[in-house]
Structure 1
Amino acid sequence: MPMSVAEAGVTLADPTAYADEDRLHRALDLLRREAPVHWVMPPGYHPFWAVTRHADVREVERRSDVFLSGPRPMLAPARTVASGTGGGRKGLLRPLAHLDGAEHHVMRAVTASRFTPQAVAALRPQIRDLARGAVDRMAGRQGEVCEFVGEVADVYALGVLLLLLGLDDSEAATVGRFTPAARRSMAPEQRTATMREFYTYFLALTADRRARPRDDLASVIANARVDGQLLDDHEVLSQFVILLMAGHDTASVTVAGGLLALTEHPGQLSALRDGAARLPDAVEEMIRWVTPVKAIMRTARVDHALHGVRIRAGEAVLLSYPSANRDESVFPDPHRFDVHRTSNRQLAFGYGVHHCLGASLARLEIEEFFAALLPRLVSATVAGPPVQLTTTFSGGLKLFPVRCVLKN
């Protein structure tokens, strides 16, 4: 039965739709074609404008003077949406993605020096070692069914996170509990208890790095000053939250989704293994294909016309990244996974002032993993139904059983 535009709009507020890619992309294709800026009133949510074309998503991101992150930075049921925008430097945890203007600029600068191209390039040898270790562990399971997300991708991404923070492998079990991937499988009461543990752990780490600073990202955060003052507890914890959210999940879900795409498109895998395609281009295609962040929200500060539609001050917009990354006006044959695709203008890392600070690091992690895997990969076979996460914000594969044969 054909889907209506109204049904397509409501789909964007349905977490189960993001676990059903056929259904999701039917809705997004319809919205881009017939109502690229569409008013949506989903049950249980405050209404919003759905923005689905690549050019319009870029326009909203570019106009940070018009479209603000606060007070509604992500789509959530109406009953859970906090009122107000917070105030000043004190208050609830507010990661970078929730901040605007001068406050965003100041807090982004806290860790920016660690994510410059030069700083990221300096990490390549250590990340290469982590990637080779991950592939060695896969080889140790030669021919067995491996749940790739939990056993490989999450572990590899966690290793890079520990490297950044200056923590050794003995901290992996503790820090791993704080990652979004681990918290998703917890009951609500467990998540609450885990967040309390997160506060305790990272405030203790901050105190340690203030007393004994090292050359690591934890020390940078602990000893950063704004207007001559050390960051308060909420600001420190907000910095660590974004590291755990973006620093772990982006690489993990793209590595997993990238391998699934290669197993489902053996011709693309062959092109990478025999050198007919360039790995950096393939990494960009994996990022476009997976699009880890599904949607973010912005709120209009003043009236603004977008694609011929007047958005009024105070109205919210939802930016659909999976839709922008399948826009046929930008990506020829957008529903085809193509490792030969060049000049890839994917928007998975955002655009403008909120462009992901760790984008270069994520690319490096993904590239080094596949650089380690592909020369040794004899075969990869999906060994059970892959399962996608239900979400309206960030996600990808939840389960991916795979059987790999690797060269020793």
Structure 2
Amino acid sequence: MTKPILPGEVAAAVVDPVAYGQWDALHEQLAWARAHAPLAVAENPEVDPFWLVTRHADIMAISRDPQRFASGTRPTVLTNRDGEAIARAATPNNDGHLIRSLVQMDAPDHMKYRLLTQSWFMPKNLKIVEERIRTLARETVDAMLAAGPECDFARDVASHYPLRVIMDILGVPPEDEPRMLMLTQQLFGSTDPELNRSREAITSAEQAIAMLNYVIADFEQYFGALTADRRANPRQDIATVIANATIDGGQIPDRELAGYYMIIATAGHDTTSASTAGAIMELAKNPALFARYRDAASDKAGLIEEAIRWTTPVQHFMRSAREDVEVGGQLVRAGDWLMLNYVSGNRDEGVFDDPFAFDPDRPKNQQIAFGFGAHVCLGQHLARMEMRILMEELLPRLKSLELTGDPARVESVFVGGLKRLPIRFAAA
């Protein structure tokens, strides 16, 4: 069976950080792919060929089958050939993973490590911290209103509130939060000249890997000290759980220990920040929708779920086929690399009515921004709770809300969202 090949402009768009920053043009390319080549191979000069998976059903099928689609054998995030080669030469066992966290693990390691903290992120346990989160939300809203009547909501509010929540739960003191925010932006925004460590455009794989290694080393240094403290002085926080956990009868190896902290510290706030800013952007565009949700009695669940779909902060993950398998009518061969494009899946016309409309009243919002299956986001319940509480505390205290300039998205193929959202508001 001959593999279908994507047109060059589609293949180029899905690997281009600038395209994800422009967003609307990217969606045109992905809509074409869903309609004409929903599972086809993208060929680019500097990247190994990979299957672009654009339809919701195919993404779900691959996600629920980790036995045949591995996370750990190739990079889990799109990486060019030179970058992968450099990473393999520099990593233990030549595995190519600069970070080894839950995201890069397959069975049996994945579930062993996931179970260490999974109970912390279940709804029953989160009720215990709900009032702490509400206090942080109120403080955030107080600060926003005091500094008003204008702000960059993405920078001044959305990036800080989820950070404060996850750092509080993790056990990082408030004075270290700016450092964690900076390092997260440098990690996830490594291709964006406004956010990365060098504040310059990345022009080579060597430059990109070197810059990421500096960021990872900073994380490792910080969390190494935190581990030593929590082993000597345990507390009621996740850092204590991770620092004192055992795997197969021994302490977590240093590499996996650092990866565990990093995935919670980074994914625990950057993605929630993006969805929160996405919700406020749409409310600022739609006065009737804003009026509806500023009613304290309104149920915010539909708004939150639609904002998560609309924003899709984690834009893709890669998988590798362990064996020959048919997906979506195509034969994927053992060793093939696949991009699960969640941006496309969350606009699939076969699943979402009028997918390019922001509609909080979708009767069954099947968004897949948190992934699906064994690797579904560990913190998805916390993210929804954080967003709900902030909307409950913020919206009733606003009389008006409007944009004062053009929003701007992060230029990144992996984790995206708004990096600028200029708004004007009046307090109620």
Q: TM-score range with shorter-chain normalisation? A: over 0.9
What is the rounded CA distance, in whole Å, between the counterparts of 1:79 and 1:371 in structure 2?
Answer: 47
The answer to whether the 8 A contact 1:62-1:353 is kept is yes
Shift of the alpha carbon at 1:10?
A: 2.5
The structure-2 alpha-carbon separation of the partners of 1:27 and 1:379, relative to structure 1 and needing over 3 Å to count, comes to same
Structure-2 residue corresponding to 1:142 = 148
The answer to whether the 8 A contact 1:94-1:238 is kept is yes
Partner deviation per Cα, 1:246-303 (whole Å, 9 max, x = no partner): 1011111111111111112223222223479630111000000000011110010000
- SS of residue matched to 2:424: strand
Partner deviation per Cα, 1:51-85 (whole Å, 9 max, x = no partner): 00100000010111111112221112221114499
The answer to whether the 8 A contact 1:16-1:390 is kept is yes
The structure-2 alpha-carbon separation of the partners of 1:349 and 1:221, relative to structure 1 and needing over 3 Å to count, comes to same
- Which deviates more from structure 2 when the two are superposed, residues 148-157 or residues 167-176? 167-176
Structure-2 residue corresponding to 1:66 = 68
Partner deviation per Cα, 1:173-205 (whole Å, 9 max, x = no partner): 333332236873221777654433322111011
The structure-2 alpha-carbon separation of the partners of 1:245 and 1:171, relative to structure 1 and needing over 3 Å to count, comes to closer
Equivalent runs, 1:61-210 vs 2, <5 Å: 61-70=63-72, 71-81=74-84, 82-83=87-88, 87=93, 93-143=99-149, 145-180=150-185, 184=189, 185=195, 186-187=197-198, 192-210=213-231
The answer to whether the 8 A contact 1:5-1:35 is kept is no
Gaps in structure 1 of 5+ consecutive residues? none
1:231 to 245, 252, 255: 252
Matched, 1:350 2:350: no
Equivalent runs, 1:192-271 vs 2, <5 Å: 192-271=213-292
The structure-2 alpha-carbon separation of the partners of 1:193 and 1:54, relative to structure 1 and needing over 3 Å to count, comes to closer
The structure-2 alpha-carbon separation of the partners of 1:93 and 1:193, relative to structure 1 and needing over 3 Å to count, comes to closer
Structure-2 residue corresponding to 1:40 = 42
Matched, 1:367 2:388: yes
Partner deviation per Cα, 1:96-134 (whole Å, 9 max, x = no partner): 111111011111112112111111222111111111111
- SS of residue matched to 1:106: helix
Shift of the alpha carbon at 1:382?
A: 1.2
Partner deviation per Cα, 1:296-338 (whole Å, 9 max, x = no partner): 1001000011111111000111011011111111111110001
The answer to whether the 8 A contact 1:74-1:297 is kept is yes
What is the rounded CA distance, in whole Å, between the counterparts of 2:129 and 2:296 in structure 1?
Answer: 25
Query: Percent identity at matched positions?
Result: 39
The answer to whether the 8 A contact 1:180-1:244 is kept is no
Structure-2 residue corresponding to 1:7 = 9
CA RMSD of aligned residues (A): 2.2
Structure-2 residue corresponding to 1:300 = 321
- SS of residue matched to 2:147: coil
Shift of the alpha carbon at 1:166?
A: 2.2
The structure-2 alpha-carbon separation of the partners of 1:183 and 1:318, relative to structure 1 and needing over 3 Å to count, comes to closer
The structure-2 alpha-carbon separation of the partners of 1:374 and 1:181, relative to structure 1 and needing over 3 Å to count, comes to farther
Gaps in structure 2 of 5+ consecutive residues? 1-5, 190-194, 199-207
